[in-house]
Structure formats: structure tokens, C-alpha cells
Structure 1
């Protein structure tokens, strides 16, 4: 139990290293078994950590016994353990799908996938911003290779844009860290939160510069307007299991904004309190608008799903901008829903892509698919869920976010943007379903049927949407408690700095 918090990082790391060594590296089946076993173990550890955090206990794991704020510390609270469990479920579903044959299309898929999981889990657990940068780089380096997995002109072009933009973001991240460390003398999040309110006016201006640079970096990671243009091409060109896993990458940016601008630059930050809110409000609404337009303009299913990711990011950013416990709790519920359903939709798009011949997933008349019934049912469930229609979790998530809005000041902006975005999604998905399943030119030719393991992976992820509704009470209660704990950290930092490793 003492070392439980570091296992979501250690398990993928050791598994990835083992996959690079003989005899595992020479046997695809051994890699598959090890990958699924490792992800299953991470899933079980994440469930246990979530159960422990439900009591309100914040578990600190101090590496090398170097106590905070000087050492490397991992923080397992309600928010971070929730994100760990979300990543584990999505990663397990994506890997299950990849074991249907996608992992054979290029080299080193399994170890790269493990290193990606390690970076994502580390970003959610770390208690200081410098190690957030380190884990960002780990997950980005893995994503560069995974994006180009199996090769191709389209993937190469998308990867060049993705790599250049993220290298620029990493440079800005380093500049921001240098500015904040020079001003505060620390990069431990809890220690920063203690020192920010006591800065002199001249120091506040420098710290504000570093903070806004961090907002730019996190905005790039989360695909916030005007930094969202890399996402549609990148996600549409990635292989299906990689695109499904990438559904969590934008949420790393959202998580970072929540963690840094609620704890460090939140309500108790003195002259730097809520410095991100004036920027987040207009940018979130504009992200919703550009996402709605992108959905209507999409010409293929993968492009449509990528634009739906941008639309969900706009909705999440609007909830972040409200900066209240109720809004953050609703945000976390909607974040779980949008991540898992978008991941499932990327997998569905790949199945459709391979069953429509030369038409692929474009919205044109084509031959009938070999398995229209299971794919049609999966698409129908995913479309209803992501569009926000009852009885699926998208409806509940959007309703919670709209309920959290201030009727006097915020509702006039967020209600039209969210509702119009949902209408645009419904129109675009209806058109997509009609084009893909009804506009049939002829009977299907002989084609390879989808492996059952891929359908299992798709329905596993889709099943989370009705489950989020069935268990909506406990889930929304937990997300609300996670929001209360997050918003209360800036006024009670002792558990995050207390020597001994536990609160």
C-alpha cells in the first residue's frame, strides 16, 4: 500500500522496457499478453487508489525521501486518481482493439503505447510543475512515434505539424518555468500557492507573465482556440487505437489548467487571483463556435470526430472559466463522458473505413458494409451519446454544466454556444449516418470481416456511457467532492507539504 501511488508510472515503464528485450520483442503475442496484463494491473491499481481517495485522504509519495517542496512528490487525490482510472479504461479499450491486428502494421507499437501511458499517468500524479514538463515530454515523444506508426504520406505530413507545434510549446513551457522559479524560488505546486499571495507588485507582473505563458502551453495541449488547428489533421491521420488514446491528451491540458490555475492562481492568490478567467471565457465560446463550424464542414467521419473533440474542449473550457465547485464537478463528469465516447467513435470510424472500399469513411455513396448491423448499432449509440441526447451521459454532462452557470451573467453566453454546438453535432452525425449506412450503390463485395476482439473493444467503451447514467448519482457525487477538494487546496496546503508522505 505504501508504494501504490507510483505503480501507475512504474508498471508501464517496466513493461515497455521488457518489450524491447528478447525474447518478448520478437513475439507479437507475448507483447499483446504483457500489454493487456500491464494495463489490467494499472486499471486495478487505479480503482484501488480511487477508493482510497474517496475518503478525502491525499496520498503523498515522496521519492528518495526528499521531502516537499524540495523533492519529487506524487499527489494522489480525488482528481488525479479519477484521471488515472479514466486513462486506464481508455488505454485498455484501445489496446484491446489494437490486438485485432493494428499493432502489426509497424514496429514497437506496444512499448511506445506503454511509454505513452507512463507519461499520461505521470502528468496526472505529479505535484510540481517541472515534473509536469518532464512527463509532458515523455508522452509527447511517444506520441510522435505512435502518430507515424505504419507510415504513409498523410501521417508524415500531420506528424511534422504536430511535432513542430509541440516543440514550440515545450520551449515556451521552459521559459515559463524559468520565470516562475526565478520569482518564487520553487516549482512545487503547493509551495507556489503559498508564496504567490505574498509577492511584491513588481514581482507579480513577472509571475503573471510566466502564468500566462503556461496558459498558452496548456491551451496548445488542450486545443483551445486559436491553438486548435493542429488537432483535426493529426487525429484524423492517426491509426485507430492511437487516435482513441489521443482522446485523453487534450484532457491533460484541461487537467493542467484546472490544477495550476485553481490551486496556484486561484481565489487566494492575492493580486494574481483568477488571472486566467478573463482569457478563458471568450476563448472557450470561440472554441465552441469554431468546433460547431468544423463539424458541419467535415467531409469524412474521422474529421467529424476530430471536430467533435474540439467542441467538447470548448464546453470543458467554459466550465473551467466559471471557476466554481459546481461547474468543476460538472466538468469532470462531462470530461469522463467525452473522452470515452470520442475514443469509441475513432474505433468505429476505423471499422467503417475498412468496410466501404475506396470510399473509406468519406460521406459519399459507396458499397454496403459487410457488417452493417453491429457497426450501425455502435455508431447510433456513439452519435446519440456525443450529441448530448437522452438517455446517454452526454445529456447529463451538458445539463450539469448548464445548471452550474450563473443565470445573470454566464448563461447568456454558455447556453446558446453549448446548445447550438449540440444541434450542429446532431445535424452532422445524422448526415454522416445517412451517407455511411443508407446511401448504398451495390451489395458488398467479399471483404474481411471485423475481428470480434475489435467489436468487443468498441462496445466496452460505448458501455461506459449508459453506465455513467445508471450510476450517475455516485459518479456525480464523487466528481463534486473532487471539485470541492481541488478548490479547497489553496486554503489548506499543509497536507501537500507535510513531511512523512501522507496527509
Structure 2
């Protein structure tokens, strides 16, 4: 019986990170999670918290198991409803998607633990919305179809709209309005881009597109490229890439601490989508449409890095400083992506893991500091000393060193790998100069903030402030500790990202796993492939669908 259950569990593992948060959110809504004011201190709300946290921990276990299986090298392909790709919806877990799942759920657990320190009582249905957000994030990372990528984008965005204004407040509603309007426009453009691509290729399955785009003639390839460039605009907006980044600093600074920390992974969904479309589908081997974004992506990435760093230097509050660091981190990642080599892609993935963890931790740290500075909050101006100067000072020092990329922390290793991988690029001098200069300026901006927060303080007043609770500090320390784990496990992570980059470049192998064994053009034949633990008969790629 145990073996049967384990076989069923293993077979359906790819879909569980999507179904688990969905069922958890529905259960929380049925239980009445967040009844406004009546149940926050009662046994009922504690049960809701327990269910939410237990589900998040279980989801993290599932994600890490998927990453363990993906590290063996195969693709875990799950055809929903038993319909083979490209006819039906298919979920695909490769090394990249498994890594993003593990990163998402590893952030979700400490962030949710932090939220149970009180933020989940500031509005209705926080936990249900949190899990709907996790559903959208997980679905975006495992879907093998561009249209379903759009669907999961909408799921996570709808949840983020409400989470952004959770706790209310004028600034949050103002930022939320801008955020909603921009994303509605982006969603409309997303559909336009998908329509163009489908009209040319006749499919939206990513593995199928990677095959078909190479066969397009010059005119068809030009039209396909125009649709893909529309998608680049959409993904660039969601990733906060120049010139579409201006919405992020105000939005993330206005959000509550746990929401902003969870949002640290949202910009990476845009980066992930750019990798899938422009790094894989339109990568080397895409025929007339190959590397369509090459002339644009690297200059935009370097501009994002520079403007994000300058914004951090000019920030007048700690939350906006961290928000601009989020923009700068996206620029650094996209520098690696924009070089369009396996070595650079591996370096970008390595840096993405580190930067997402550090940014999430810094958003939690912002509130820990702000609540101990009285009415001044997180504004970068002198105030009375914080109640926990030693603990918060060391946490800020670690976060700042990680964000600036000081050795031997993972940020330094990630940037060094990006610089080394830029050797063949004509823009190598620009890359080295801007990455090094922005790293130094980031250090200057964070040192300035730390000096104001912990050294340039006013005489103590009579208001005795309490330190942060153990729940809040442990969650923040947990995320910072994960960044230290990355430093200790730098070599295994580097081997994993190397293998992930090589797997992304293997267009034929990916298509064979998703669509079936590939042969020449002609009538479709049926070949078995591994889907979970069972074999499914699929039409061979190359036949007409």
C-alpha cells in the first residue's frame, strides 16, 4: 500500500505545487480566514494560521523534492488530463523550473512565519491570498505552454493586487492603482503577442515552438519576432527593466513588509519568462528569428543596473533604497541573460538565487528597523537609537555586504562569474566597468544608510521602544542564513546552474522529452516518453498537428 501511494505521489508530483496552494486557499476561505476583527485572537484564527504554515512547509518539501529529481538530468513532463503535448496542457519541470520552485517556497515559509507576527491581522483573507499568489508563481514556473503562462500570470497578479493594499492606507491604494492599471495594459499586450505567435506558428507549446520557429521563412520569422518583442515589453514591465521600472520603487515601498518580501520573487517571473522565450525559443538554432532580442537586451540590462543603483543612492527611505536594489539586481541578472551564452546564463541563474533571497530578507529588515525608530520610521534621517542596535546592525551589515557583492558572499561569486563569462562579448569593457562601478556605489549607498541608522543618532528620548519579537527576527535571520548557506554550497549550486544552462540550450532533447521522440518530417508516429512514472504515447515531432 505504501509503495502504491508513493508511486501515485511521484507520478503526480509536478502538479502538486500548483494544487496544494489552490486547495489551501479554498479551505481557508471556507473556514473564514480573516473575519475582520472578531477571530484574530481566537482559536479559529490560530487554526487558519496553522493550516497556512503547514501547507507552506509541505509545499517547500515538494519543491525541494522536485529539484532533487531534476538534478538527475531528466525532464518531468505531466500532461494534464492525459492529453499529450502539444494538443493538451502540459506541465514541465526541468532544472530551471525546479530551482525557481524551490526558491519561491523557500522564501514563502519564513515570510509567512513573519506575517503571523501580526501583519496577517491587518486585513481580510491574508493567508488565502498568500496561497493564491503561490499558486500563480508555481504555475508560471512549471507550465510548458505560453497561454497558460499568461493564465498563471493573471492568477498571481490578481492576488498581488489585493495583497498590495492589504492593511490599507492612502499610499498603498495610490500605488495599487498605478500597479493595477499598468498590469492590465501589460495583460492586453500579452494577449496580442500570443495571438501573433500562434497565428504564425500554430502552437503555443514552448517545446513545439522551439522546433517550429527554426523552420519559418524570413517573412514568417519577422512576424514571429514582432510577437516575441511584444512579449519582451510585457516581461520587461513585470521584471522592472528600463524603461518600464518606474512603477516598482513606489509600489514595493508602500507594501507591507511580508508582501514586499514575497514580491521579491515576482520580478524574477518576468526574468524567467524572458529566458524561456528569448533565451530558449529564440536562442541559437531558431533560424531567421535567432537571438532577436540580442541587440536590445544587454543595453537595457546595463541601463537597468545603472539607474537602479543611482535610485538607491538617491533614496530618502530604507524601503525605497531596497526597492531600487531590486531593480539593480534585475539588471545584473539580465546582463548575464543578454550575453546569450551558456556560461553567462549559468552565472545569471546563480546570481538570481542569491539576490532574491537577500532582497526578501532586506524588506523584512526594513520594518524591523523602522518600528524601533519612532515616528521617523524608515526615513534616512537621524533618530533615536534603535532598541536592538547590535542585532539589527549585524543583520544590516550582512544584508548590505550580500547586496553589494562583497567576497566571499554569493553576490560576489555571481558577479564574478558574469564578468568572466563576458570575455567573448564586444561590450566586455562596458560590462566590467558598469558592474564594478555600480557595485561600489551600492556599497556607498548602503554604508550611508547604515551610518544614519546606527551611528548618526539623536539623544535617547523618554519613549522606551521594544525590540522586535523572536518571530520577526527569526524569519529575517532565516532568509539571511540561507544566503550564507549559498556561500558554503557555492560549488554544488554552480554545478547545478551549469547543468541548467546546458539543459536550456538542448532544444532537441527538451522537445523529445515533451513531444515524444523526434524524427523527420512526415506522418506523425507514436513514441513513448516518460511522464511521471508512466509511459504515454505521443505523436512524433515533425508531423503536422
TM-score computed with the length of structure 1 as normaliser: 0.98
The reply to whether residue 479 of structure 1 matches residue 497 of structure 2 is yes
Deviation at 1:98, TM superposition (A): 0.5
**Offset of residue 469 of structure 1:** 1.2
User: Relative to 1, partners in 2 of residues 1:111 and 1:23: Cα closer, same or farther, differing over 3 Å?
Assistant: closer
Report the alpha carbon displacement of residue 492 of structure 1 after superposing the two structures with TM: 5.0
Give the deviation of 1:369 after TM superposition: 1.0
Task: Report the equivalent of 1:259.
Answer: 276
Once the two structures are superposed, residues 434-480 of structure 1 have per-residue CA deviations (whole angstroms, 9 ceiling, x without a partner) of: 00111211225222331101110001000112211111111110111
1:502 aligns with 2:502: no
Q: Which deviations, in whole Å up to 9, do the C-alpha atoms of 1:345-394 show, x marking residues without a partner?
A: 00000111111011111111111111112111111110011010012111
3-state SS of 1:162 partner: helix
Question: Match for residue 48 of structure 1?
Answer: 65
Pick from 113, 118, 121: which aligns with 1:96? 113
| Structure 1 stretch displaced more, 325-334 or 17-26 | 17-26
Cα distance in structure 1, aligned partners of 2:368 and 2:484 = 22
1:241 aligns with 2:265: no
**Contact 2:77/2:530 (CA < 8 Å) preserved in 1?**
yes
Give me the whole-angstrom Cα distance separating, in 1, the residues matched to 2:214 and 2:322.
42
2: CA distance, partners of 1:268 / 1:80: 22
CA distance in 1, matches of 2:308, 2:71: 35
* Cα distance per residue 1:155-179 (max 9 Å; x no partner): 0111111111100000000001111
Where does residue 21 of structure 1 map in the other structure? 30
Deviation at 1:49, TM superposition (A): 0.7
2:80–2:88 CA contact under 8 A, matched in 1: yes
Residue 349 of structure 2 corresponds to which residue in structure 1? 332
Match in the other structure for 1:301: 318
Matched, 1:462 2:462: no
Are the aligned partners of 2:11 and 2:531 in contact in 1 as well (CA < 8 Å)?
Answer: no
Q: Which has the higher contact order (CA 8 A, sep 6+)?
A: 1
**Is the Cα contact below 8 Å between 2:77 and 2:91 reproduced in 1?**
yes
Q: Gaps (5+ residues) in structure 2?
A: 1-9, 517-527, 533-545
Q: Deviations over 1:55-89 (max 9, x none)?
A: 11101011001110010100011000000000011
1-side partners of 2:92 and 2:477: how far apart?
33
For residues 147-162 of structure 1, the aligned pairs below 5 Å read: 147-162=164-179
Quick check: 1:121 aligned with 2:150?
no
> Does residue 1:168 correspond to 2:188, yes or no?
no
In 2, Cα distance between equivalents of 1:424 and 1:14 = 45
Answering whether residue 232 of structure 2 is matched by residue 215 of structure 1, we say yes
Report the Cα offset of residue 326 of structure 1: 0.7
Per-residue deviation, 1:490: 4.9
Indicate the RMSD between aligned Cα atoms, in angstroms. 1.3
Kindly indicate whether the alpha-carbon contact (under 8 Å) linking 1:54 and 1:78 is maintained by their aligned counterparts in 2.
Answer: yes
Structure-2 change in CA distance of 1:156 and 1:463 (3 Å): same
TM-superposed deviation, 1:487: 1.1
Q: Tell me, in whole angstroms, the C-alpha distance in 1 between the residues paired with 2:31 and 2:71.
A: 41
Cα distance in 2 for partners of 1:500, 1:403 equals: 38
Q: Distance in 1 between matches of 2:442 and 2:144?
A: 37
> Please, which moves more after superposition, 23-32 or 337-346?
23-32
Query: Matched residues in 2 for 1:178 and 1:411: separation?
Result: 37
